[in-house]
Amino acid sequence: MERVLVDFVKVLRTAEINVSPAETLDAMAAMDIVGYEDREFLKNSLSMVLAKTPEEKETFDSCFDRYFTFNKFQSEEDPHDTGSDEFDEGLDQDGFDQHTRGEGSSGGKGSGQGSGQGQGGAEVEEDDDQSLQPTSTLGKLLLSDNKTELIIALAEAGRKAEVNKIIVFTQKGLYTRKIMDAMGLKELQDEISELQSSGSRPHQNLSARLKKARDRLREQVRDYVEKQFFLHADESGKQLREELLKKVKLSNLEKRNFKDVQQVVFRMAKKLIAIHSKRRKTYKRGQLDVRKTLRHNMQYDGMFFDLKWKASKVDRPKVMCICDVSGSVSNYSRFLLMFLYSLAEILPKVRSFAFSSDLGEVTRLFEQSTLEDAMAKTMRDYGNGSTDYGQMLMDFKHQCMNDVNNKTTIIILGDSRNNYGNPRAEILREMYDKSKRVIWLNPEPKMSWTVGDAEMKKYAPCCHQVEVCNSLAHLERVVSNLLRFAS
């Protein structure tokens, strides 16, 4: 039962209810206390432990009802059954209604009454039919009236097939087959084949009943797999798409994906904010701060009860971001700027610049406009024209070089393709000398950095860090390192 509870906790996390490992242990303890007999009591007890807000409690109730409910194994001819925790009450001992049995047993009582003759022979055949029982494990289970065992067998087979790992809806048939195999489908198929090869009517009738029971079970398993998909795979599928969006080249993204990517960026930024939001201190263990130690231990008459170690503060960095917004790299710039402005809580000193030839500051534009409007205006004002990195560096020197100091991190995002103009690498060397760090992010692979009009061979020695950056995963790593090592 503990394994079932752990799987249920995974379902809650899929539904965006945050459940910690400690809360999972508390739920196990609560379950041991209240037991499993009273469903409503168990549901309320787990809700108190696992759901924290009214919205989460509502979601919890929905997840509990869906996860701990099995549909009936009902007859196709009974349209009034809607399914509940129990099987169909109108079924006979073989698990089917009487109408279905009549179709599968042509030598039964109904057949004899319709002919009006040979009635005694029909009764003998029916007795033989009743005495003939399936030999396969699944066949016995399907034609028995032990409905609870059938539910347990289905759930156990689902666990063996790991149906909770279903990701996309197209895997429904695959997991249906896996569960059927785990329940003993092969043995049942062999038995049906043997019965069909026999010429006697009782064997033929039993074969027909087993085939109908097998087909009905397959439908129930499909429903079960579909239910598990909606319980487990919504978030898994979403996570799969997000992982793909993190790794795909940003230049290959279609416009319809921008909204999804924006959500991924905000989620990444939220994670980085949680890690780096507090100004931290890096303690140098082993280097005693004598003055602080003496001052803090005066209350103990000079006895060293409270040792103080030297520490260096980790400050929020001052960032200048220069983005090439020409057509070939505009998508990369869009998402880098999105990343940086999502981190406004811990990067309050971001200044952003855009260029294709002339450099312009767009900090205020992004602060006062929506992201989409700001990007559109930036592309309109700075995205036209031939790329000129030399002109960009000259503009930066005239406009901003006086604001650069030893706490400034400069991020340049561009492919360094300068249309064979003057690269002005000496200005980048001056920026290198004055700033704390110069980081160049190039969306092209390294093999292209020295091909054609690319100037990375001249710019790279003037940078503290040069990285290939053409996906969200690269952007996340660069920004995370920026925050980690900023001081």
What pLDDT does residue 374 have?
Answer: 81
Q: What are phi and psi of 271, to 5 degrees?
A: -65, -45
What pLDDT does residue 383 have?
Answer: 79
Outline where DSSP puts E strands in 52-108: none
Higher pLDDT, 344 or 438: 438
- The model's confidence at residue 428, banded by pLDDT at 50, 70 and 90, is very high
Q: How far apart are CA 366 and CA 379, in angstroms?
A: 13
What pLDDT does residue 364 have?
Answer: 86
Kindly state the DSSP code that residue 305 receives in the 8-state scheme. Answer: -
3-state helix, strand, coil in the chain (%, to 5): 60, 10, 30
- The model's confidence at residue 86, banded by pLDDT at 50, 70 and 90, is very low
What pLDDT does residue 90 have?
Answer: 36
* CA-to-CA dists, residue 12 to 5, 39, 60, 67, 242, angstroms: 10, 18, 7, 10, 20
Q: Is the pLDDT at 170 greater than 50, yes or no?
A: yes
Closest CA to 412 of 319, 317, 322, 318: 322
- The model's confidence at residue 82, banded by pLDDT at 50, 70 and 90, is very low
For residues 22-45, average pLDDT: 86
Q: How far apart are CA 326 and CA 117, in angstroms?
A: 93
Cβ atoms 394, 424 nearer than 8 A: yes
Beta bridge partners of 283: 311
Residue with tokens 């992004």: 366
Q: How far apart are CA 407 and CA 428, in angstroms?
A: 17
Higher pLDDT, 254 or 304: 304
Most confident of 328-332, 424-428, 466-470: 424-428
What pLDDT does residue 393 have?
Answer: 94
Dihedral over Cα of 82, 88, 94, 99: its sign? negative
User: For the chain, how big is the Rg over CA atoms in Å?
Assistant: 35
Beta bridge partners of 360: 354
For residues 54-73, average pLDDT: 76
Higher pLDDT, 405 or 331: 405
Higher pLDDT, 300 or 86: 300
Q: Is the pLDDT at 70 greater than 70, yes or no?
A: no
Q: How far apart are CA 206 and CA 398, in angstroms?
A: 93
Q: Is the pLDDT at 390 greater than 50, yes or no?
A: yes
- Low-confidence winner among 113-122, 252-261, 263-272, 473-482 (lowest mean pLDDT): 113-122
What pLDDT does residue 191 have?
Answer: 87
Kindly state the DSSP code that residue 417 receives in the 8-state scheme. Answer: B
Whole-model pTM over 0.85: no
pLDDT above 90: percentage of residues in the chain: 9
- Low-confidence winner among 237-246, 411-420, 421-430 (lowest mean pLDDT): 237-246
Closest CA to 412 of 339, 467, 471: 467
**How many residues can be counted in the chain?**
487
Q: Is the pLDDT at 486 greater than 70, yes or no?
A: no
Q: How far apart are CA 116 and CA 375, in angstroms?
A: 87
Q: Is the pLDDT at 420 greater than 60, yes or no?
A: yes
What pLDDT does residue 274 have?
Answer: 66
What pLDDT does residue 92 have?
Answer: 38
Mean pLDDT of the chain: 76
Cβ atoms 107, 129 nearer than 8 A: yes
- Low-confidence winner among 125-134, 295-304, 320-329, 376-385 (lowest mean pLDDT): 125-134
- Strand bridging mode 408-413 / 359-361: unpaired
Reported as a single tens digit per residue, the pLDDT across 339-355 is 767 766 566 678 889 88
- CB under 8 Å to 481, separation ≥6 — which residues? none
Q: How far apart are CA 93 and CA 145, in angstroms?
A: 5
- The model's confidence at residue 131, banded by pLDDT at 50, 70 and 90, is low
Q: Is the pLDDT at 22 greater than 50, yes or no?
A: yes
What pLDDT does residue 80 have?
Answer: 43
Q: Is the pLDDT at 209 greater than 70, yes or no?
A: yes
Lookup: tokens for 334: 């869009």
Q: How far apart are CA 310 and CA 290, in angstroms?
A: 9
Higher pLDDT, 95 or 264: 264
Cβ atoms 104, 205 nearer than 8 A: yes
Lookup: tokens for 17: 């209810």
Cβ atoms 330, 359 nearer than 8 A: no
Higher pLDDT, 344 or 390: 390
What pLDDT does residue 456 have?
Answer: 93
Task: Count CA atoms closer than 13 A to 302's CA, side-chain side.
Answer: 0
Q: Residue 452, exposed/middle/buried by CB under 10 A (0-12, 13-18, 19+)?
A: exposed
How many CB atoms neighbour CB 29 within 10 A? 11
128-141 in b/e burial notation, b at 16+ Cβ within 10 A?
ebeeeebebebbeb
Q: Is the pLDDT at 124 greater than 50, yes or no?
A: no
Closest CA to 179 of 143, 234, 236, 222: 222
Beta bridge partners of 466: 440
